[in-house]
Amino acid sequence: MKPRILLAIFTIPLALIIAAVPENTTHAFKLTASQLLEEANSGVQYYSPDEIADMIINKDPSLQLIDVRNADEFEKFNLPGAMNIPLADILSKDWQGYLDQDGRINIFYSNGTLKSDKAWMITRQLGYENNYVLLGGLNYWVETIMNPSAPKNTSPNEEFAKYDFRKGAGKALGGSAGAVGESTTSTKLPMPMIKSKPKKKRVQGGC
């Protein structure tokens, strides 16, 4: 599935997700619904599987993966170095220091993107920075990184280069994988030191 089509599929329900963002009485909302929708539709919140795979392999110290599925799903399968903050606990004060910071790039992920989109919208509406979403979630990760499809012989060189990268990345990260959720023991990377990194450019307005 082409990333542009994926992006369209994942941004269609965003207005409904915005409406579902719970009211929080301890933090003032920083964006209006229209401002948040503008950011969401721009796709600025997404990192592609290729970008994340490259960051994991290179042990980028600015990366922090955050799995927003429940604890059982997290234990069965998770990405290297990920921490678990279930969506139901996203507003807990215990996690505020991890989510409201400017030293790391937090990447929310779930099986698809519904839960991670919700996590991004909640934290973004609270004015938190440096929180993003893995495009397509674990399902798209398995499809593109762990089990990449070889390009056609007539494909441009860029497609072959992308395939070679994905094949190598998949091998480095544990080889091919089946459906998300099967029992897998992931290798955790050591906790890296915090290092600032330039942020993606956001849509003007809001906070």
| pLDDT for the residue numbered 180 | 52
Domain count for the chain, please give it. 1
Mean pLDDT of 3-19: 52
Measure the CA–CA gap between 189 and 150, rounded to whole angstroms: 29
Residue 105 lies in a domain: yes
Alpha helices in 59-173 (DSSP H): 71-76, 96-99, 114-125, 137-141, 157-172
Q: What is the pTM of this model?
A: 0.74
DSSP bridge partners of 63: 105
Measure the CA–CA gap between 206 and 39, rounded to whole angstroms: 9
Residue 67 lies in a domain: yes
The pLDDT tens digits of the residues spanning 18-60 come to 555 555 444 556 777 888 888 888 899 999 999 999 999 999 9
pLDDT at residue 9 greater than cutoff 80: no
| pLDDT for the residue numbered 34 | 84
Which has more pLDDT, 181 or 59?
A: 59
Output the six-digit token pair for 192: 């890296």
The pLDDT tens digits of the residues spanning 57-94 come to 999 999 999 999 999 999 999 999 999 999 999 999 99
Residue 197 lies in a domain: no
The pLDDT tens digits of the residues spanning 117-175 come to 999 999 998 999 899 999 999 999 999 999 999 999 999 999 999 999 999 999 999 86
Residue 176 lies in a domain: no
Residue 167 lies in a domain: no
For residue 84, give its domain range.
Answer: 3-141
- The CA R_g of the chain, rounded to the nearest whole Å, is 17
pLDDT at residue 2 greater than cutoff 90: no
Residue 180 lies in a domain: no
Considering the chain, what is the average pLDDT of its residues? 80
Residues 6+ apart with CB under 8 A from 165: 50, 53, 54
26: domain CATH number is 3.40.250.10
